Amino acid sequence: MILLNPKKEKFDHLDPRSREIMEKTIEFFETKGKGKLKQDYNDRVWYADFLDFVKENRIFADLLTPTAYATGAEGRWDTSRICDFNEILGFYGLAYWYTWQVTILGLGPIWMSPNEAIKKRTAKMLENGGIFAFGLSEKAHGADLYSSEMSLTPLDKGKYVADGGKYYIGNANEAAIVSTFGKNSETDEYVFFAADPKHENYDLVKNVVDWQSYVAEYALNGYPITEADILSTGRDAWDSALNTINVGKFNLGWASIGIATHAFYEAITHAAHRNLYGKFVTDFPHIQQIFVDAYTRLAAMKLFARRATDYMRSASAEDRRYLLYNPMVKMKVTTQGEEVINLLWDVIAARGFEKDVYFENAAKDIRALPKLEGTVHVNMALIIKFMANFFFNPAEFPVIPKRNDAANDDFLFSQGPTRGLGKIQFHDFAIAYDSIDLANANIFKTQVAVLKEFLVTATPDKDQAKDIDFLLSLGELFTLVAYGQLIIEEAALEKIDDAIVDQIFDFMVRDFSKYALQIYSKPSSTEIQRELCMKMIAKPAVNPERFQSVWQQYVYSLTDTYEMNP
């Protein structure tokens, strides 16, 4: 099975303790039941019951403490099992995922810090059920680090005073530590320091959202800081901010996968039992097309994200390919999650608004994920930096294996400088594409070949290179190539049916054509660019037998296979 079914998943790929964590978490939510889950969501109830469960079962302590600081034998930072846990929390409720996700972000600057004393203290806080917060964004500047107005003013004898405000900071009401980013007011040097929400000089201004989670505005007013509270300074503080985002915001895609999966089960079961005009809804050909598109997009999301996890876990100073795949999980997977929900909603229609269904939550929450990491534009601007080397300057790398092993991902907290993204090289993407011979994948290969020709013979001019609107469409084409590559790799590792892979490339061909048409239609597109764009537009290979195989074996067969306990 590609999609998670909490009532059937055995987690055979995990060690006993990790399996226990996943199974107990599923049991917690299924015991809570959909009715109480929905009631707490609608009444904006703080999830103290979930945090008590986390504490009692040492869940954050084991999953989020690197081995060197773990107080228990099972503690490690293992991105593979972290992603499993992400998916489960997303499946049941974004608010539960959010408090975990923000804890990961808050821990990033701590585990990357040279301050050994605070790391040991953090491990004990996790053991005691502590959650954490990441004090980066500000009301006037968002996550623009250059413009941070939080100031740390030196006094004497290693003492400082902090002043300033932070905005849109999850968990900042109850965090054990709020890792706070600012600048030294005398040297203008960047600094990360630890703040305590219980301190009298910490002003919890308000919750800025009307949601189950607490997303705070807070202010530090003459807040005393000592050297013991300093996490990092200068370039190290800057790098730890960005590297924490690399580690933590990767989780956004997995939350989207979880949400869309739960919504899919509800939608297919509802449609299969609804009779209109003497036919069940799932008998209509256009409904079958919508469901197959939704399923294959969701399957692609998970295949890509799972393979990207392998690259994250295998990263090193010499292999930083994950820095392309990571923002794609943040951007591409989350926007595809929105597309899946849109497709399903077109089938279930008014049912998606009803108060007793999970889908109502999903339709609201799925929108947040592409936006919790700024915007799609921010990630696309990052992704485009890799395009030249990806297409035209490949290097040789050992094949990355499937990484379900129970190992601590040491490199993630020693990533080093965040400079030099344009110098990062990748293995030849053609290796993956040449490994399959499927109708739609072959059509996609011809589209990619024209894109490479476009980049060589119709390279965007200086004005187009500054036009974000133009680059966004070009970046979408590039993204599809890397997306397909990792999907092929993961499909081979998981021995996914060729029919599913070829049906995935059915929508990939259509998406590629859509973005090519967008470039064609740009005001600045040149004659040669338009000519090449027309060559990129293609029709997928029509194969009714393949389509019906996917529909019957993998999509319609999910009817009645999962329903959350009432």
**Per-residue pLDDT reduced to its tens digit, 74-115:** 999 999 999 999 999 999 999 999 999 999 999 999 999 999
**Per-residue pLDDT reduced to its tens digit, 260-313:** 999 999 999 999 999 998 999 999 999 999 999 999 999 999 999 999 999 999
Structure tokens at 304: 């890509």
Given pLDDT bands bounded at 50, 70 and 90, which one contains residue 453?
very high
d(CA 230, CA 232): 6
Given pLDDT bands bounded at 50, 70 and 90, which one contains residue 375?
low
d(CA 461, CA 464): 5
pLDDT at 376 over 70: no
pLDDT number for residue 243: 94
**Per-residue pLDDT reduced to its tens digit, 478-488:** 999 999 999 99
d(CA 458, CA 452): 10
d(CA 55, CA 14): 21
- pTM above threshold 0.85: yes
Given pLDDT bands bounded at 50, 70 and 90, which one contains residue 322?
very high
Structure tokens at 207: 């919750």
Q: What's the whole-number mean pLDDT along residues 210-231?
A: 97
**Per-residue pLDDT reduced to its tens digit, 7-51:** 999 999 999 999 999 999 999 999 999 999 999 999 999 999 999
Q: What's the whole-number mean pLDDT along residues 327-349?
A: 96
Any idea what the Cα angle at residue 429 is, between residues 423 and 435, rounded to 5°? 160
pLDDT number for residue 57: 97
* 297 Cα distance to chain centroid: 15
**Per-residue pLDDT reduced to its tens digit, 246-268:** 899 889 999 999 999 999 999 99
CATH architecture of residue range(s) 133-234: Beta Barrel (2.40)
pLDDT at 143 over 90: no
- Percent of all residues in the chain with a pLDDT value above 90, rounded to a whole number: 91
Residue 485 Cα distances to 115, 149, 205, 482, angstroms = 40, 42, 47, 5
pLDDT at 384 over 90: no
pLDDT number for residue 378: 73
pLDDT at 71 over 90: no
The number of residues making up the chain comes to 566
Q: Write out the DSSP string of 380-394.
A: HHHHHTTHHHHHH--
Strands 215-226 and 230-233: unpaired
- Percent of all residues in the chain with a pLDDT value above 70, rounded to a whole number: 99
pLDDT number for residue 74: 94
Work out the burial of residue 130: count CB atoms within 10 Å of its CB; fewer than 13 is exposed, 13-18 middle, 19 or more buried.
buried
Q: What is the dotted CATH code of the domain comprising 16-131?
A: 1.10.540.10
pLDDT at 374 over 70: no
Given pLDDT bands bounded at 50, 70 and 90, which one contains residue 407?
very high
Residue given tokens 């089938």 in the structure block: 347
Residue given tokens 């040297």 in the structure block: 187
Where exactly are the structural domains of the chain? 16-131, 133-234, 249-388+426-557
pLDDT number for residue 311: 97
Q: What's the whole-number mean pLDDT along residues 368-373?
A: 81
Q: Mean pLDDT for the chain?
A: 95
pLDDT number for residue 146: 84
Q: What is the dotted CATH code of the domain comprising 249-388+426-557?
A: 1.20.140.10
pLDDT number for residue 373: 58
Which of 190-199, 219-228, 241-250 is the least confident region?
241-250
* 469 Cα distance to chain centroid: 23
